[in-house]
Each structure stands twice: as structure tokens, then as C-alpha cells.
Structure 1
Amino acid sequence: MWLEASSTLEFNIETPSPFVLMLRPRSGMQQWIAREEYVLSPSVPAVEFTDSFGNLCQRLVAPVGHFSIRISVVIETANASDTAPGAPFVDIQQLPDETLPFLHPSRYCDSDHFTEMASSIVAGLTPGYDQCSAIVDYIRKNIQYTPGEGEQNISASELNGLGRGVCRDMAHLGIACCRALAIPARMVVGYLEGLEPMDLHAWFEAYVGNRWYTFDPTQADLQGGRVAIAFGRDAADVAIYTQFGPPVELLNLDVKVQETQGPTR
């Protein structure tokens, strides 16, 4: 399916402020970008680099006054995420090197606290994909999804105690449980067609059956187009913008995703 997706961020800047942005999706196995527009207003010099997870990042200094960032893409993506019940666990010694950072505890995915709980959730299941599915089922049954309420990042342990959270928090819990079982898991931030209310979205991927598979505790199924913008160990790695210096005011964040006919000549 073809999607047109866009994000517009508007700020009030009181003093020149350095930013690192993470707003540009990349073409890959599950998505292909046909057209892209990236507009800074007012226009300022920007430098792009690729971080250690392969994400496209932009550095700039925002000037005083009203400053806006708008990025839009026309992108071809799958109309449903791949599933693979029964896909096997991959032994640690057989894992690709690039998956190894996603085995360890991280700032918001304190997987070392979930060894017993994760083992209990997946008891009797074949190691691999089916364990990840059981973890997602546990989160859906025990954590209330409350979109729009999560202003502060919280850890997987905090969410498990609180019992309610946003997509980011629920992804953290899924990742922590997978890592507790020695399954590499990473966070994804991007767009999801049909999301209500519309916003940027977070889910996670787990490495089983020799590839990454999508899991989303907030959605009843994996239908609908997804556009991945950034990958990381947890939310600390995938912030769409990081601002340095005195805090600035975010006036507006507007996200739009709609199905389209694809690029025109």
C-alpha cells in the first residue's frame, strides 16, 4: 500500500537552540520512499549524520522566534506486518553481531528485573516467536492503553506496577520481557495508518527465526501500514527531537497519515 505521512513541529525559541532531529525514515526491506519533502522555516543550515543504529539524524541551531519543521513522505509499505508462529529462538552464538546490543538491559527496558516474570508468562511454549506473542498477550490483558497521557518516560518496571501507559511504555515492557529470555528486541518509532488518535507511534521488534518481526501490544492485530522512522534500545535512543540549552516551548505537533494512490509523474 502507498501512504502519505507527515509531521509538523512548531516551536517558540527564545535563544538560539541546538537540536538533533530524527524525523527522516529510510528505505528498507519493508518500506520504500518515493518522494520526500523536508522544510525548515525559517531556513537554517543543517547537517545530517547516521547514528550507531542506522537512523538518519539532522543537526541544526534553531533561531530566535517562531521555528517550524515539516517533513512529508510518500512511501510504499506492507499493508500487514509479517507474522511467523513457530519461528524458532536463535541461539546466542548464532546471532548476527548487530543484534547483540538489543540483548542487554537499557535505561527504560530493565530486563534484569523480569527474568522470573517472563519465564512464567511463556511457560510451556516453544522458544522464539510464540514466546513473544505470549508476552504481547500478557501486556494487552494487564496494562491499560491510555494514548495521549504519557508525558514522562517510565521504565518497564514502573509500567508493570502502574498498570497503565502509552504505546512507548508498553513497547518498553515487551522489550524487557523478550530480553529477559535472551531474545533480542528493539524499539521502533514511526507512523501507523489508522491510528486513533493520530500521533507518532511506538512498537517493538524481536529477532527470532533469523529476522526481525513486528509486535505491537496496543493493537488487536498487525493490519495497517507502518512506516518506521527510527530504531533503538528504548525511547532514549529514538527521540524525534532532542533540544539542548534552556527548554523551548513546543507549540504544536501535527501528524497525518493517509492512504494514497502513490507518486505521480
Structure 2
Amino acid sequence: MFIRYGYEITIHCDNPTALVCLLSVHEDRAGDLLAPEATFTQPILPISTYFDMFGNKCRRLLAPAGDLTIWGDATIRDSGLPELAWPNAREVPVSELPDDCLVYLMGSRYCETDRLSQAAWDLFGEVAPGWTRVQAVCDFVHAHIAFDYMQARSTRTAYEAFGEKVGVCRDYAHLALALCRCLNIPARYVNGHLGDIGVPVVDPMDFSAWIEVYLDCGWVTFDPRNNIPRIGRIVVARGRDAADIPLVNSFGPHVLKGFRVWTYEVDGAPPQG
């Protein structure tokens, strides 16, 4: 199948402001693109690209004073299959983990492992380790937090979400991440596009957050917000938590004036160009 995805974001800056944007599809899906992503700004600005320490593609630019619109669009191939479960996957002892997994065991800005460790072991210490334990964490988080977009708060941490029992997809992800790390299971934060293919219509669309957990079969996707296998997940960026991978990181104040996201299946292979 083919999925068209994209975004249009408009911000206002009172003064020229440096930006770093993490909005492009992750390099591990670049080979599935029918053509390179189309990316434009209005007004037209020079943009440079680099990769951060987590392997995410970052676009760097200087926003002028006034309004700036950033627009991106592409079509990507996808298997069209729901994500697989790996019920026999096992946890990897910390002493045997790859070096680059260790950072995903540590506490981070939004994931206070020190404050949640006792709760994690009380809740899941007796659950069979491996995929079953991670799924138990996601089941708990899915039931524990009530989704409420009107109560979204950019500063809410995993510990606060645990206590407040309300949040949006990033809060589900942060709490599940923190609980997994408390249980010595490496877990990382992911954001990207997730449309409504195979599920009830989602309107308006937004970027989504989920998690990946390291087991003996490698990195495995879990989604405590939706908690069911989904079709057409498109990774944009990965990090320790949302602080590592903001969609737009501005080095100065800005005001969001417009935000639009699209992700939908298209029939046949669109022309490349």
C-alpha cells in the first residue's frame, strides 16, 4: 500500500529566531519513499541538514521576524499489515545489553525512574519477564490514563501522569517508558505519523507518540495510547523522551499560528517527481 503524509506549520516570531526542526521521516524508512520528501518554507529560506546523536534528521534554519510556514509532503510504501506481536521475546540481562541501549535505561527529563521504581516493581515484579511484562505495562498505562486533549500540558512528566491519571499520547508514552526502565528494560520515545487506516476516522490528525522496547529480538514497537496493532506507522524521530525530539525547537520565543497534519492511504503508486 501507499501512504501520503505531511504537515503544514505556521509560527510567528517577533525577532529573527534560530530553529531546529525534526519533521522528516527517519532514515530507516527513507528507502520506502517514492521520491525525496518535498519541504518548503514561506518565505523561502536556506536550510541545512544534520543528524543528531540519536540518528534523527534535523533541519536547521533562521526564522525571520513575522510569520513563517514550514510545509512537508511525501508518499511512502508500506506493507499494509498490522504490527506483529512477539509473545516469546525475552528480556536481555543488563550485563548483556548492547552499549547503545544503556542510555535508554536511565531516567530522563520526563521519565523519573527514581520516583516510579517502587511502583513499577510492586505492579509488575511478579509478571513473567519479556514481551508479556512490557504488554502488562502498556495495558496498565492504557487503562490508568484517561485521554483528554484539552488537558494536554507540555511540562507533564511520567510521575505526574501516574498521579493525575490524565494526558495525551506523549504522557502514555512517558509513563510506559519510565516503568519499563525501572524494570531494567531499555525503552525509547518515538514520534511520527499514525493515520486512521483500519480504525475509526481520526479528525483532526496530529503527530503521534509511542515507544520502542529492546528485547532479545531487537527493538519492538508498543503503543500504550492505542494498545492495539496498527497499520502504517511512520517514524519521524527517536529519543529518550519528548525533550530530545521536539518537532520545532526554537531558540527564542515563538507563537504557533497554524498546525495541520495529514496521513492517508492513496490508491496505486502516485507518479514520482
Q: Distance in 2 between matches of 1:118 and 1:151?
A: 24
Range that drifts further, 28-37 or 80-89: 28-37
Equivalent of 2:190 in 185, 188, 191: 188
TM-score for both structures, normalised by structure 1 = 0.94
Give the deviation of 1:67 after TM superposition.
1.1
In the alignment, what sits opposite 2:24? 24
In the alignment, what sits opposite 1:42? 43
Residues 187-207 of structure 1, C-alpha deviations (whole Å, 9 max, x = no match): 000010117241011011110
Equivalent of 1:251 in 235, 252, 257: 257
In the alignment, what sits opposite 2:145? 143
Give the deviation of 1:31 after TM superposition.
7.3
Asked if the contact 1:17/1:61 (under 8 Å) is kept, the reply is yes
Q: Distance in 2 between matches of 1:151 and 1:157?
A: 13
Q: Distance in 1 between matches of 2:85 and 2:154?
A: 32
RMSD: 1.7
Range that drifts further, 135-144 or 146-155: 146-155
Q: Distance in 2 between matches of 1:244 and 1:264?
A: 38
Residues 134-156 of structure 1, C-alpha deviations (whole Å, 9 max, x = no match): 00111122111123531323111
In the alignment, what sits opposite 2:76? 75
Give the deviation of 1:82 after TM superposition.
2.4
Equivalent of 2:213 in 186, 193, 206: 206
For structure 1, the 5+ residue unaligned runs are none
Give the deviation of 1:77 after TM superposition.
2.9
In the alignment, what sits opposite 2:101? 99
Question: Structure 1 residue 264 and structure 2 residue 266: aligned?
Answer: no
Range that drifts further, 67-76 or 255-264: 255-264
For structure 2, the 5+ residue unaligned runs are none
Range that drifts further, 99-108 or 28-37: 28-37
Asked if the contact 2:13/2:66 (under 8 Å) is kept, the reply is yes
Secondary structure of the 1:24 match is coil
CA separation of 1:112/1:172 partners in 2, compared to 1, >3 Å: closer, same or farther? same
In the alignment, what sits opposite 1:223? 230
In proportion to residue count, which structure has more strand? 1
In the alignment, what sits opposite 1:130? 132
Asked if the contact 1:190/1:201 (under 8 Å) is kept, the reply is yes
Secondary structure of the 1:114 match is helix
Asked if the contact 2:27/2:56 (under 8 Å) is kept, the reply is no
Q: Distance in 2 between matches of 1:20 and 1:30?
A: 20
Q: Which amino acid in 2 is paired with 1:110? A: E
Question: Structure 1 residue 52 and structure 2 residue 53: aligned?
Answer: yes
Q: Distance in 2 between matches of 1:53 and 1:214?
A: 17
Question: Structure 1 residue 6 and structure 2 residue 6: aligned?
Answer: yes
Instruction: Name the count of aligned residue pairs.
Output: 264
Work out the percentage of aligned pairs sharing the same amino acid: 33
Q: Distance in 2 between matches of 1:262 and 1:80?
A: 20
CA separation of 1:76/1:121 partners in 2, compared to 1, >3 Å: closer, same or farther? farther
Question: Structure 1 residue 87 and structure 2 residue 93: aligned?
Answer: no
Give the deviation of 1:88 after TM superposition.
0.3
Range that drifts further, 75-84 or 130-139: 75-84
Residues 92-116 of structure 1, C-alpha deviations (whole Å, 9 max, x = no match): 1221222111010001011122222
